Amino acid sequence: MSVFTHPEFDNHEHISFHRDPETGLSAIIAVHNTSRGPALGGCRMFPYPDENAALTDVLRLAKGMTYKSALANLDLGGGKSVIIGDPREQKTEALLEAMGRFVERLGGLYIAAEDSGTGVPDLKVMGRHTSHVAGVSPGLGFDGKPSTGDPSPATAYGTFKGIQAAVQHRLGRNDPADLEGLSVAVQGIGNVGYRLARHLKEAGAKLWVYDIHQDRMDQALAELDATPATAEDILFLPVDVVAPCAMGAVLNNESIPRLRAPIIAGAANNQLGNASHDHALWKQGILYAPDFVINAGGIIDIHYERIGAEPSVVREHLDGIGQTLAEIFTRSAQGNLPTGEIANQLAEERFNLKTKTGHHSRRTS
Ligand code: NAD
Domain boundaries, the chain: 3-64+78-136, 146-344
List the beta bridge partners of residue 29. Answer: 16, 81
Closest residue (by CA) to atom 43 of ligand 1? 295
pLDDT tens readout for residues 61-120: 999 999 999 999 999 999 999 999 999 999 999 999 999 999 999 999 999 998 888 988
Distance CA 140, CA 297 (A): 15
CA dihedral 313, 317, 323, 325 (to 10 degrees): -170
Nearest ligand 1 atom to the CA of 295 is: 43
Distance from the CA of 21 to the center of ligand 1, in angstroms? Answer: 33
Distance from the CA of 139 to the center of ligand 1, in angstroms? Answer: 24
At residue 256, the 3 state secondary structure works out as helix
Q: Is 80 a catalytic residue?
A: yes
| 207, 201 Cβ separation under 8 angstroms | yes
Nearest-Å Rg of the Cα atoms of the chain is: 20
Nearest ligand 1 atom to the CA of 194 is: 26
What residues flank ligand 1, with Cβ below 6 Å?
151-152, 155, 187-193, 210-213, 216, 231, 245-247, 267-269, 295, 298
Q: Which superfamily does 146-344 belong to? A: NAD(P)-binding Rossmann-like Domain (3.40.50.720)
Candidate CATH numbers 3.40.50.300, 3.20.190.10, 3.40.50.10860, 1.20.1080.10; the one for domain 3-64+78-136: 3.40.50.10860
Rounded to two decimals, the pTM is 0.92
List the beta bridge partners of residue 42. Answer: 113
List the beta bridge partners of residue 227. Answer: 208
| 219, 197 Cβ separation under 8 angstroms | no
Closest residue (by CA) to atom 2 of ligand 1? 190
Distance from the CA of 109 to the center of ligand 1, in angstroms? Answer: 28
At residue 269, the 3 state secondary structure works out as coil
**Secondary element (H or E) of residue 16:** strand 14-20
Q: What is the pLDDT along the chain (365 residues), one digit of tens a residue?
A: 789 999 999 999 999 999 999 999 999 999 999 999 999 999 999 999 999 999 999 999 999 999 999 999 999 999 999 999 999 999 999 999 999 999 999 999 999 998 888 988 999 999 999 999 998 888 889 999 998 888 999 999 999 999 999 999 999 988 878 899 999 999 999 999 999 999 999 999 999 999 999 999 999 999 999 999 999 999 999 999 999 999 889 999 999 999 999 999 999 998 999 999 999 999 999 999 999 999 999 999 999 998 889 999 999 999 999 999 999 999 999 999 999 999 999 999 988 866 555 444 333 22
State phi, psi for 255 to the nearest 5 degrees: -80, -40
Nearest ligand 1 atom to the CA of 216 is: 9
Nearest ligand 1 atom to the CA of 266 is: 30
Same CATH topology for 3-64+78-136 and 146-344: the answer is yes
Quick one: pLDDT at residue 2? 87
Distance from the CA of 245 to the center of ligand 1, in angstroms? Answer: 5
Distance from the CA of 362 to the center of ligand 1, in angstroms? Answer: 34
Half-sphere exposure of 310 (CA within 13 A, CB side): 3
Closest residue (by CA) to atom 27 of ligand 1? 192
Quick one: pLDDT at residue 356? 52
Contacts (Cβ under 8 Å, ≥6 apart) of 342? 328, 331, 332, 335
Could you tell me how many residues make up the chain? 365
Nearest ligand 1 atom to the CA of 268 is: 32
| Of 65, 116, 236, 247, best ligand 1 pocket probe by most atoms within 8 Å of the beta carbon | 247
Contacts (Cβ under 8 Å, ≥6 apart) of 337? 282, 331
Distance from the CA of 188 to the center of ligand 1, in angstroms? Answer: 6
Sheet strands side by side (includes 227-228): 227-228, 206-210, 183-187, 241-244, 263-264, 287-288
Distance from the CA of 192 to the center of ligand 1, in angstroms? Answer: 7
Q: Which candidate in 80, 161, 201, 206 is catalytic?
A: 80
| Of 115, 148, 191, 272, best ligand 1 pocket probe by most atoms within 8 Å of the beta carbon | 191
Closest residue (by CA) to atom 40 of ligand 1? 152
Nearest ligand 1 atom to the CA of 152 is: 40
Cα dist from 293 to 15, 66, 71, whole Å: 25, 12, 7
Quick one: pLDDT at residue 355? 57
